[in-house]
Structure 1
Amino acid sequence: MTSWYTRFVSQLLFPLHERLKRHSTYRLLPALEKSQWLSPQQLEQLQQDKLQSFIRQVVADVPYYQQLFKQLGLSAADIQSVADLAKLPLLDKTLIRSHSKQLFSNRPYRFSRGSTGGSSGQPLTFYMDQHRVSHDVAAKLRATRWWGVDIGDPEAVIWGAPIELGKQSRLKSWRDKLFRSVLMPALTLTPELIAGQLQQLQQQKPAMVFGYPSVIYQLCLAAKRQQIKLESLGVKVVFVTSEMLYPHERNIISQSFQCPIANGYGARDAGFIAHECPAGSMHISAEDIIVELLDDDGQPVAAGQSGEIVVTHLATPGFPFIRYRTGDMAQLALQPCSCGRGLPVLANVQGRRRDFLVTTAGDQLHSWGVVYLLRDVSAIEKFKVIQHQATAIELLVVSEQPLSPDTQTDIRRQFQRLLGADMAISITRVTDIPAAANGKYCYVENKLVS
């Protein structure tokens, strides 16, 4: 049963907060909660209508696309459907950096500055108008409500990105207190920090936990070692995002809190793309997000086949994202979700191309192959696999004692079975493996991919 304070925040305080920021979040939210139950065909028509309106506005107002359409000999009328987007080139970080000024609309939008964490290289700076922010927040609120929680319920945010941590002004701290949201920094997971976070969770007893799966997983392992019963906190759902969620992480987190895990997929630049419903499907926010899955030649892949996620965000008129390459891989589900929502389902989100290793034969091996191999080595506490060359892999391990010669030999043998007999495997014992500068932790990094 929803508490009176949650109703106060969700029905009065946060809507007022959004209105003062000139966001249309609470005008959009009822429409999204209704449109999710439309049939796939009705949603496709809604998306197509929005696409046509969006393209007309962008071509009329944005210098970059005015020039691009002229060069291609196209008019806004030539983009009538999702299939017609193939007439336009892909957008990537390099293009945005080199044409940033031309990507601004001529209309006087209110912009906020955004930046990616730079986990794949140089960070990207981009800009969000109030329409895009409102749509993303509304889509997130809709997905949150799928799980029986709402803004105003006690929330623990276990986050490591310095972008957020650096924004915690006194005003925002007071706002978070009013909304009952506690930010727990998780950039460097020292034993002291983990102990402090576990203590804070026990004191707060949040209804929902939000954060990186790798960090929450480490907290659960620490709680188990210290015989802290996280299930006694009464957490209703754990929301995870920004990293690959591995099955072993899902199992441990779910068992520890005795609650479901809701995986979310999105990006600062690409938007709030998809979120998991209680039936287990990752629903795309299709009212505002068009997802294309493309092969290496830029051609659409069939449902059930893996392709790179390319996003067109229909609520970005001020600084458009059209056919934006995310670098992530996924599939479209073959079957609709049993929950009854008509929103399309993104299946098997496999992470970035940098999360794949290349065998000596030139094939791609998903990181899961080596993650599960190393996870079963009891002597290893933490690890990271780095591919520097086509025939060379570096394995960093954190362990209480040096790995025995037999253990190292067995690891090399199994790596070579997966990656090729001529793959050189170096194993280095280190004291710690810190998260990246953006706070994320990745088990595998392929430096062959830019």
Structure 2
Amino acid sequence: MEKAMKRQKVLLQHLNPTALQPLDSAISPSVCSSGDGGMYQRNAAFGDDVVIVAACRTAICKAKRGGFKDTPADDLLAPVLKALIEKTNVNPCEVGDIVVGTVLAPGSVRAMECRMAAFYAGFPDTVPIRTVNRQCSSGLQAVADVAACIKAGFYDIGIGAGVESMTIDRVDRPRQVSPKVENFPQARDCLLPMGITSENVAQNYGVTRQEQDQAAVESHRRAAAAMASGKFIEEIVPVSTKIVDPISGEEKSVTISLDDGIRPSSNMVDLAKLKPAFKKDGTSTAGNSSQVSDGAGAVLLMKRSLAMKKGLPILGVFRSFAAVGVDPAVMGIGPAFAIPAAVKSAGLKLDNIDLFEINEAFASQYVYCGKKLNLDPAKVNVNGGAIALGHPLGATGARCVATLLNEMKRRGRNCRFGVISMCIGSGMGAAAVFERGDHADGLTN
């Protein structure tokens, strides 16, 4: 230990020679394991930070009857991939990998569609692409995977994206289930419909119908206000596509640039009239659950040193990621456990987080997680969430990155750290911590 302490003194003197006065009082065995510290003081290797230089999304549209009902998944993904290159002027040949979160389509089919989308967007055949599926966190997992690969030195530039067409693909049970599942209660609970897990959360943790409806009203109110004030303009890429009249078959060319699931007139009286959607005496309804949607999002990541060399503005810094497991019967509680894990991994405390984007899969789980973590409602989903905007499963994580980082940019100096989190089917939760890109401290460019 004594030799290790001496080596640590020398190392810390090189990193920050003015901070060790006197040396002996500042050194302890815990320093090496403390990362960048509670308020995330940067170290001298900050050029190796993984940063986000661009993040965008399509509008989110109602499945089967919204603006993208006749738009295939590859035509949803291509515009956001192309927009990243156009926004930054990065040479697409420099991209080391494209990772796309996606959930419902058969893996081999969606993998081919994503490869096709990359070609539509102008990427050369030298740029590889793959898909990742961690259910509702797939888009965030794609971003985390790219960040990890950049950190590991596999490549310097990568894209984490997500896409889902819930018009075309639907949630299905496994085609064949082993008979042994009946002997393993938690394995059996992996097959529960998501709506039933929502009811379990409401019942087990005392979340009332009124609380759920109120959360839904607030989601629509905030999303409507954000859209009216133009907050989403910077993050949404307009998509030129077609809409087919279901009766006449007539095709009409359109450009979709607005989320079409937001209901500004949503209110408690109307929501109270809705019948439970999943259980006869339940509290989860079509009005206080996330919308079934179509959409895509994409995030361009690279090393900070490279972004500085290219003169690109840094929208955010990827600080940490955590995925955790929870009981499948109450899968919605995942964020209540994933958020503390990710925040701790970043060397922070919950009080250090200025903004949260928590996916509103169901109002029951969203309300529970906020109460469990004692979060300030004024910091959570300030521009609405999936109840109003929609939840295209594989795209949601990437959509949240675009929404969070653009809001942090607008808020400036008073908003340094943000968190994205969601629950995950079969009993998991995921969360990631981001830092605002232009935050200034002693070692920032």
TM tier relative to shorter chain = under 0.3
More relative contact order, 1 or 2 (CA 8 Å, 6+ apart)? 2
Q: TM-score, normalised by structure 2?
A: 0.27
Greater strand proportion: 1
Q: TM-score, normalised by structure 1?
A: 0.26
